């Protein structure tokens, strides 16, 4: 694996950490304010920068509806917020970091369909010009990817665009059909 023309084994851990923003499905918030949890992406960020990224990330509105807005303490592990709200704050934190590589590991797994659309729009806007790696089981979140890698039991089964994989990879086609069937059942 290389970043630029350097093997990642030749890059220090600190340098790698500077190059990558990571949001997992099981994000962690600290028992601190919403503002400070977002600011952890860029500790020197001003209050204005934190609020701008929250707006761009689609979470300013729900933050302003909290009892103390940005100064609301989220509780241990973010326990005073819903899973979707914690996820959106974690995404805002990653976007504030502004690293050239963004890894989203099931980053919309705790969101309802309306919030997922807001988050997907924000992610699309905020990751322009960056390398975006999305790990997803919800296939509708990756249909616009430049390249999708289908992995089964730790082995790469196929690579391509959504359209290519639908035509050429029976596993992906089966997964897509099951995904779309599950979506139809939920909306009925």
Kind plus residue range of the DSSP H or E element containing 7: strand 6-7
Q: Rounded to an integer, what distance in angstroms lies between the CA atom of residue 78 and that of residue 4?
A: 36
CATH classification number, 2-135, choose in 3.40.50.300, 3.40.50.880, 3.90.79.10, 3.30.360.10: 3.40.50.300
pLDDT digits (tens, 9 = 90+) for 12-40: 999 999 999 998 887 788 889 999 999 99
| Per-residue pLDDT at 38 | 96
Q: What order of strands is seen across the sheet that includes strand 101-105?
A: 20-24, 101-105, 131-135
Average pLDDT score over residue span 32-60: 94
pLDDT band, residue 79 (cuts 50/70/90): low
Q: Name the phi and psi angles at 28, rounded to 5.
A: -130, 130
β partners of residue 94: none
Q: Is the per-residue pLDDT at 187 higher than 60?
A: no
Q: How many residues does the chain have?
A: 188
pLDDT digits (tens, 9 = 90+) for 136-175: 877 887 888 889 999 999 999 999 999 999 999 999 999 8
Its pTM surpasses 0.85: no
**Across 30-139, where does the E strand assignment appear?**
101-105, 131-135
Range of weakest confidence among 14-28, 49-63, 106-120? 106-120
Domain ranges of the chain: 2-135, 146-188
| Per-residue pLDDT at 46 | 97
């Amino acid at each position: 694996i290389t970043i630029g023309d350097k093997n990642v084994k030749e890059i220090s851990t600190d340098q790698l950490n500077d190059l990558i923003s990571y949001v997992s499905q099981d994000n962690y918030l600290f028992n601190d304010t919403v503002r400070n949890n977002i600011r952890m992406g860029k500790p020197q960020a001003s209050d204005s920068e934190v609020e701008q990224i929250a707006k761009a990330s689609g979470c300013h509105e729900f933050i302003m509806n909290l009892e103390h807005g940005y100064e609301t303490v989220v509780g241990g592990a973010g326990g005073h917020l819903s899973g979707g709200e914690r996820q959106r704050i974690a995404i805002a934190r990653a976007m504030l970091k502004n690293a050239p590589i963004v890894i989203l590991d099931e980053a919309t797994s705790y969101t309802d369909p309306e919030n997922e659309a807001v988050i997907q729009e924000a992610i699309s806007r905020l990751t322009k010009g960056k390398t975006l790696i999305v790990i997803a089981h919800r296939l509708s979140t990756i249909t616009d990817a430049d390249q999708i890698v289908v992995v089964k039991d730790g082995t790469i089964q196929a690579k391509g665009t959504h359209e290519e994989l639908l035509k050429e990879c029976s596993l992906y086609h089966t997964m897509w059909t099951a995904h779309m069937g599950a979506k139809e059942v939920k909306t009925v």
